[in-house]
Amino acid sequence: MDEAVQITDASELHYVAEGAANVVYEVIDDIDWNGYLLRVRKKVAAQPSTLTVYSFLRETIEPLFEDQIVATQLVRIDPAVLESLNTDLAALEAAGQRHPKRLGTIVDTSEPYALLVQDMRPVSMLRTEAGDIVEQWTRASNTTSLGFIRQLHSNGCLETAVLEFKPKWLVQSHDAPEGWIYCRTCALRHMRAAQRGIEFGAEEGAFCPLDLVSHDHVRIERALQALWPERKGGEGDRVLTKAVLVKAITKFVECFRVFDRLAQVQRDMDTRGVLAVTDEDDDNNLAIAMAVRDCSAFMRVVYGDPVDEEDGDELLMVDGRDLLVTCRFADMDVKDSSGTKRVYWAGIERALREGGWYTRIYGDAARCG
């Protein structure tokens, strides 16, 4: 493994976002890490080390996907930097700028490593020359995020939009009963909606992962329409309107079948189902399958003159304009398929089967597949 560079200055780190397990920072004023974000591990019980996560990514995941994975680099991080980041988190919390679910959580000051991860935000595609940002926004739902940025510069206009979502289970669960009507993702969504008191079928039109790998234009477009976070207000004179973005990403998915590899890995690594795996015969393949099922997809569309083109970028013509479209996968962190995690997965499958959530028919709710 290559010797990791070291981060020793907390003043270079700007808070961007956080999840349950990590805090994400932008590295400012450092040309070497331009286009990357720093992912720092939180102090969470049973959380794998950053080195474990990185080794799993390099040795297990990257050989399966090649250039479809966001670029990642291991870096050392000074303990004093981590202490300073916790001070900053406390200040953000006091100012009411942290999500209520994240209050009280801190970064792990005993963790010697962090990860530099390719920045897939729209802002990462801005030209370095002077230009005015005339529009910038992010719209998020419970499951997806859509970011947009528009810059005017001397050579014209640059527009970038990034749709982020989790593709989830692209292959039906082996634990689903014969005659199933709903895929694992849709069945789970309906069950959880019922637990919240939402009428079954009220989420008609919600995203079904099987549509993404159907190779059918209508179904792919339907999936993307369902994923799209709605945003009030007009679209002005933008090129990348919702209609253009859906059309571009649909064409990209249909032509290049970027989710087929995700589906194939899920199929290869889970051949029997969660309920069939025991401590005695667990070969870690289930952990790989579950990591892939929990990954994030970044679908980026650029109109104009981007900073740089990367391997995997595709130039498509949509409505008479050339658009650069990219898909990258991230967040395939190692899962522990033994012990409590597998018990949790098995519990979900039993609840879906015993509750009839794979096979219920209500009203006009469309079946999956």
Span 93-114, pLDDT tens digits? 999 999 899 999 999 999 999 9
Q: Please tell me the distance from the alpha carbon of residue 222 to that of residue 238, in angstroms, as a whole number.
A: 23
Which residue ranges form the domains of the chain, and what is each CATH number?
5-118 (3.30.200.110), 122-354 (no CATH)
Please report the pLDDT score of residue 1 as a whole number.
Answer: 43
Task: Work out whether the CA dihedral 172, 176, 178, 182 comes out positive or negative.
Answer: negative
- CA–chain centroid gap for 202, Å, is 25
Amino acid at 75: V
Whether the Cβ atoms of residue 369 and residue 183 lie closer than 8 Å to each other: yes
Please report the pLDDT score of residue 364 as a whole number.
Answer: 60
Task: List beta partners, residue 23.
Answer: 18, 40
Q: Global pTM?
A: 0.91
Please report the pLDDT score of residue 230 as a whole number.
Answer: 74
Q: Please measure the distance between the N-terminal and C-terminal CA atoms of the chain and give it in whole angstroms.
A: 43
Q: Please tell me the distance from the alpha carbon of residue 231 to that of residue 302, in angstroms, as a whole number.
A: 19
- Concatenating the DSSP letter of every residue in 327-356 gives EEEE-------STHHHHHHHHHHHHHHHTT
**CA nearest to 264, candidates 173, 360, 170:** 170
3-state secondary structure of 60: helix
C-alpha distances out from residue 200 to 99, 102, 185, 210, Å: 29, 30, 14, 20
The tens-digit pLDDT sequence of the chain (369 residues) is 455 678 888 888 999 999 889 999 998 877 677 789 999 999 988 788 999 999 999 999 999 997 899 999 999 999 999 999 999 999 999 999 998 999 999 999 999 999 999 999 998 888 766 678 989 999 988 789 999 999 998 778 999 999 999 999 999 999 999 999 999 999 999 898 888 877 655 555 588 999 999 999 999 999 999 998 876 667 778 999 999 999 999 999 999 999 999 999 999 999 999 998 876 666 688 989 999 999 999 999 999 977 666 666 899 999 999 999 999 999 999 887 667 788 899 999 999 999 999 998 765 667 887
What's the token pair of residue 270? 């889970």
C-alpha distances out from residue 236 to 150, 159, 240, 242, 353, Å: 12, 13, 10, 12, 48
Alpha helices in 176-312 (DSSP H): 184-195, 209-212, 217-227, 242-256, 260-269, 285-293
Q: Please tell me the distance from the alpha carbon of residue 313 to that of residue 326, in angstroms, as a whole number.
A: 5
Whether the Cβ atoms of residue 280 and residue 354 lie closer than 8 Å to each other: no
Sheet hosting strand 314-318, strand order edge to edge: 131-140, 144-153, 156-165, 296-303, 321-330, 314-318
Q: Please tell me the distance from the alpha carbon of residue 208 to that of residue 167, in angstroms, as a whole number.
A: 9
What's the token pair of residue 53? 């996560």
